[in-house]
Amino acid sequence: MAAAWVGMLTPGEIADELKSNLDLLSSTYQDLPGRQQNMRSVFKASWIRLTQDEQEAFRQLSVFRGGFTRQAAESVAGATLSTLMALVNKSLVQPDYTGRYHIHELLRQYGSEKLLEVGEMAATRGRHLTFYLKMAGNSESNLDGSDAARWSKLLEMDHDNLRSALAWGLTDEGQAQNTLHLAGSLVRFWSSRGYYDEGRDYLSRVLAMPDAQERTATRARALHGAGHLAHMQSYYPVARPFLEESLTIYRELGTDGRLGRADVLISLGDLELELGNFMLASSLMNEALDGMRELDNVLGVSHAMWQLGAASNIAGDYEKAVHYYEEALPLLRQLGDRWHLDVALSGLASVMIRLGNFERATELEQESLAIRKEFDNPFGIAVSLGNFAWMALKQDDFENAHLRLRESLTLRGVIGDLGGVAWCLEKMAEIALISGQRAPALVAAADYQRATQLFGTAEALRGSVMSKIDLVDQHAYERQVALLRERLEERSFQEAWAKGQAMSLEQAVVFGLGEHAA
C-alpha cells in the first residue's frame, strides 16, 4: 500500500504523512477481500475480535506517545497485566527489552479515533496528565540524590509522553494549574538535557494561560524555571523579568515563600554576575546564604556557597573562591547531590587554572566531566571541554586547545548558549593572536585578521544579551585587542572587526569551527 505513493512522495514524506493520516495506506485492487482494501479495514478486522475489556484498554492506551510502562498502562488505561498480555499476543502491543510497551503509530491513531467515538478522550488524557505530573514531581527530589542519573534517563524515555501531556494541558483551561505544575517540575530535566528552547516555549505558553495567573508558589516556581532556562542560553534580558516576578511572588507569600525566595536570590545573583555587577551579585548571594542557613537547608547552603565561589573567582579573589568551593564540596558529597557536585567541581577547577595548578584542575575537571557524561548534560560537557581547552592553552598546547574548543563550541551552538559560544571564540582568537606573533611576517597578518574577526564576533554575541567578560579577565582581553590594533593597519582591523560583528550565531559557530593557524 505504501509502495503506491513512491512515485509522488519520498519514503521520508510517506513516513511523515502516516503520522497523521491513517487513510494514506489503501489498495486500488478491487478484487481483494474488504479487510485487505485499506489499513482501516485491516485494523477493524482485528478490533472486532477483541473482548470489551481489551477494546477499552487499547483505545485508552492510544493516548501514550513513545511507549509506556506497566504501571502507566494500569493507572491511565486500567489495563491489567492479563489484558496487556492479551494485546501483546494479538500483536496490537509490542514489548521491548527495557520492559516498556509500544503501539505502532497507525494502530495508535485507530485507537485514538475509537477513544473519541465513545467520548472518553478528555477523561483519559486527564489521567495521563495526572500520571506524568506525579512522575515529574517525584523526579525533582530524586534528581538531587545519588539516583539522579537513573531518574534523568527515565524522564528521557517518557519525554514524548511528557510533551503530549503538556500539549494537551495547554488546550484545556481547566488543566492550567496541573499543566503549570508539570512544566515547573520539568525544569531541572530540561536543563540537564539541554532542552532550553523547548522548555522555555512550554513555560511561556502555560504562564500566559488565563487560569495560571494566580500568584502562587506554583507560578513562582515556573517563573523561576523560565528565568533559569533563559539564563542558561545567556538571554539575560529575557531572564530578568521572570526571576524578578518570581521573587516578588515569593516575598508576598511570606513564611511559605522563604525557601523559594532564597533560591531565586541565588539565580538573580548569578544573573548579575554575568552582567558584570559583582557587588550586587555578591549581596544577593549572601542574602540567599543567610536565608538558607536560617532554614537549616544544607542543600541550599551548599548551592549558595559554590555560587559565591564563582563570584569570588570572577572578581580575582582566589583565596576566598577556594574557601567557598571547599566548603560546598563536602556538603554536596554528603548529600549525594551529583546534580550540583559537577558544577562545584568544575568551578573549583577554573580557580585552579587561574592559579596555574593544572594537575589539581585536571583531577577536578575529570570528575566533573564523568558526572556530566553520566547525565548526558550537553551544557556541562561543553563547560568541561572548555576548561580542558583553557588548560591546554595556558600550557601552549594549541592543537589540543583548539580541538577541545571545537568540541565545546559545537555543543554550545546546538543548545544556543550565546555566552558560551562567545567565550570559545575569544579563546580561539587568543590562539590565533599567539600564532600570529610566532609566525613569519608574511603569514602573521592572516592570523591577526582571524583573531580580530573572532573577537568582533564574540563582542557582538555578548552585546546582544548584555554579557560581560569576567572581571578578572578584562585587562588581558583589552591588552590583546590593543595588540591586534598595533599589528594590523587601522582599516584592516576595522574591516575584520566589522565582519565579525555582522555574523549570526550560526555563522559565528561555522567560522569558529573553520581552519586555524597552528
Lowest mean pLDDT among 24-38, 121-135, 310-324, 487-501: 24-38
Phi, psi of 26 (to 5 degrees): -150, 160
Give the pLDDT score at 15: 62
Give the pLDDT score at 37: 46
Give the pLDDT score at 149: 83
Under the phi-then-psi rule, with left for phi > 0, alpha for psi from -120 to 50, and beta for the rest, what region is 356?
A: left
Give the pLDDT score at 13: 60
Segment (H or E) for 302 = helix 298-315
Give tens-digit pLDDT for 329-339: 999 999 988 88
Return the number of other C-beta atoms located less than 10 Å from residue 518's C-beta.
9
Give tens-digit pLDDT for 180-197: 999 999 999 999 899 999
Lowest mean pLDDT among 72-76, 127-131, 275-279: 275-279
Could you give the percent of the chain with pLDDT greater than 90?
Answer: 83
Is pLDDT above 50 for 7?
Answer: no
Give the pLDDT score at 451: 97
Q: What is the mean pLDDT of residues 248-263?
A: 97
Give tens-digit pLDDT for 109-146: 999 999 999 999 999 999 999 999 999 999 887 887 77
Give the pLDDT score at 30: 46
Q: Which residues of 74-113 are buried (b: 16+ CB within 10 A; e: fewer)?
A: bbbbebeeebbebbeeeebbeeeeeebbebeebbbbbbbe
Torsion angle of the four alpha carbons 83, 84, 89, 93, in this order, in degrees rounded to the nearest 10: 140
List the chain domain ranges.
2-49, 423-512
Q: Does residue 1 or residue 517 have the better pLDDT?
A: 1
What Å distances lie between residue 53 and 46, 62, 77, 175, CA to CA?
A: 14, 15, 10, 28
Give the pLDDT score at 47: 87
Give the pLDDT score at 296: 97
Alpha helices in 395-473 (DSSP H): 398-415, 418-438, 441-465
C-alpha closest to that of 403 among 376, 426, 424: 424
* The model's pTM: 0.89
Give tens-digit pLDDT for 429-477: 999 999 999 988 778 999 999 999 999 999 999 999 999 999 999 999 9
Give the pLDDT score at 23: 54
Give tens-digit pLDDT for 15-67: 665 555 555 555 444 444 444 445 677 778 778 899 999 999 999 999 999 99
Banded pLDDT at 412 (limits 50, 70, 90)? very high
C-alpha closest to that of 466 among 244, 281, 238, 237: 237
Is pLDDT above 60 for 492?
Answer: yes
Is pLDDT above 70 for 2?
Answer: no
Give the pLDDT score at 106: 86
Give tens-digit pLDDT for 207-234: 999 999 999 999 999 999 999 999 999 9
Give the pLDDT score at 12: 62
Residue 490 CB contacts under 8 Å (≥ 6 apart), including other chains: none
Give the pLDDT score at 5: 47
Q: What is the mean pLDDT of residues 407-435?
A: 96
Is pLDDT above 90 for 307?
Answer: yes
Please state, rounded to an integer, the average pLDDT across all residues of the chain. Answer: 91
Q: Given the C-alpha cell 497485566, which residue does it identify?
A: 81
R_g over Cα of the chain:
27
Is pLDDT above 50 for 309?
Answer: yes
Banded pLDDT at 147 (limits 50, 70, 90)? confident
Banded pLDDT at 8 (limits 50, 70, 90)? low
Is pLDDT above 50 for 321?
Answer: yes
